[in-house]
Amino acid sequence: MRCPLPVIELARRIGDVPIGGVVRVLADDPAARVDIPAWCRMRGQEFVGPADSDGAPAFDVRRA
């Protein structure tokens, strides 16, 4: 997904995850490396960090 779609999809889906659950975002958009942690700070969610997903760029977010 290209910018801003990874963050938009994360925002749409985070409410479906139980508190404490983790969402893995797969995004080959270079801006996601900055945008996803920034979104987490603004929305009070926990950015767990980059994740290993069989070589695909991935980012884990824990719902707070």
pLDDT digits (tens, 9 = 90+) for 14-27: 999 999 999 999 98
The pLDDT value recorded for residue 54 is: 77
The pLDDT value recorded for residue 1 is: 67
Cis peptide leading into residue 57 (ω within 30°): no
- The tens digit of pLDDT for each residue in 1-59 reads 677 889 999 999 999 999 999 999 998 888 999 999 999 999 999 999 998 777 778 99
25 beta partners = 59
Domain 5-62: state its class.
alpha beta
Residue spans per domain, the chain: 5-62
Catalytic residue among 1, 3, 31, 48: 3
Question: What is the residue-wise DSSP string for 44-62?
Answer: T-EEEEEEEETTEEEEEEE
The pLDDT value recorded for residue 53 is: 73
Is 3 an annotated catalytic residue?
yes
